[in-house]
Amino acid sequence: MSSVLNTVSSLRLSRVYNSNNNNHLRLPTHSVLTPPPVSFTRRRLTIRAADTDTNEVKSKAPDKAPAGGGSSFNQLLGIKGAAQETDKWKIRLQLTKPVTWPPLVWGVVCGAAASGNFHWNLEDVAKSILCMIMSGPCLTGYTQTLNDWYDREIDAINEPYRPIPSGAISENEVISQIWLLLLGGLGIAGLLDVWAGHDFPIVFYLALGGSLLSYIYSAPPLKLKQNGWIGNFALGASYISLPWWAGQAFFGTLTPDIVVLTLLYSIAGLGIAIVNDFKSIEGDKALGLQSLPVAFGAETAKWICVGAIDITQLSIAGYLLGAGKPYYALALVALIFPQVVFQFQYFLKDPVKYDVKYQASAQPFLVLGLLVTALATSH
């Protein structure tokens, strides 16, 4: 402060001297003794800088906490809100995500129904159960474990408390589980072909093709999931087309028209797959994955999602109507209506907060629509 005062005093003295051209110095005492405004300005700037730093620190605080007090039931199903677990068998089950098995199991049911050759006797029921075990626990479990393995870097950002990024299960244990489930599923597929008396092992090749699709979906260098359109359609086909094909090929004959119809239905599966992308936006951005919520933004992706689900089913209903099956078409439309209601009630409001609630509410109607379509094609 003293240096500032001295500087100002010198400037004022020089100015007074030059303006009067004489040796009399008139000191403007008030101007010299008044503290210059610089000090106040510097103090205000310092305070604002401190506020900014504090805000920046707060914005970096994580908004997700490890699920330390989660649900044991959610842990067994492999869904959000799972409790932390140390039992290795429970962790292994969690990696297979049993909550994802029912659509594959249901796909087998639809394929068996579409074949027109399923009968309610002990042998056919046993065959269908074995086919469901292949599609659900084995090959879906393989797919989910494999996907978690290759998603461990993303999960370390989005869900660091999951089994692999948290270190609850070792690398060797995960890899051994992947191989066990894959070989078990392929072995059952071969057994089903023998049981059905197939000259060509179609169920085995469907299982092998689906397993390969699962691998290139999750693993580099192809990693189909990096592209929101291709990856989600591949996922939709895996959940709708492949188990349907397996069930129909096992109990009857897989025909080209069914292949086309189920692939079209897989567009609805694409929409279902998009639902799961919203919770991973942060990690997908960090690792350069072009999921649809990342590529188009969450707001646009919401409408792409519901459009894919609803328009596909309406198109299938139109196909059934054109094929002379109006009652099946009407039943399918009736099953679409509650899905739309739940979309507006839950998903379109907040796809992250209500994703589980939306899927639990709406998907039963979608899978019932699959069965309606399967029954329509069997007659």
Per domain, the residue ranges of the chain are: 1-18+26-45, 95-378
Mean pLDDT, all residues of the chain: 84
For residue 65, what pLDDT is reported?
44
pLDDT tens string 1-44: 444 434 434 434 344 334 444 444 344 444 434 444 444 344 43
Q: Are 168 and 186 in contact (CB under 8 A)?
A: no
Q: Kindly state the percentage of the chain with pLDDT values over 90.
A: 67
Q: Is 107 a residue whose pLDDT tops 80?
A: yes
pLDDT tens string 108-137: 999 999 999 999 999 999 999 999 999 999
The tokens of 229 are what?
Answer: 């359109």
Question: How much is the pTM?
Answer: 0.78
Query: Using CA atoms, how far apart are residues 261 and 319, in angstroms rounded to an integer?
Result: 9
Query: Using CA atoms, how far apart are residues 32 and 10, in angstroms rounded to an integer?
Result: 10
pLDDT tens string 206-254: 999 999 999 999 999 999 989 999 999 999 999 999 999 999 999 999 9
Phi, psi of 190 (to 5 degrees): -65, -40
CA distances to 11, 46, 123, 377 from 40, rounded to whole Å, are: 21, 10, 90, 83
pLDDT grade for 158, boundaries at 50, 70 and 90: confident
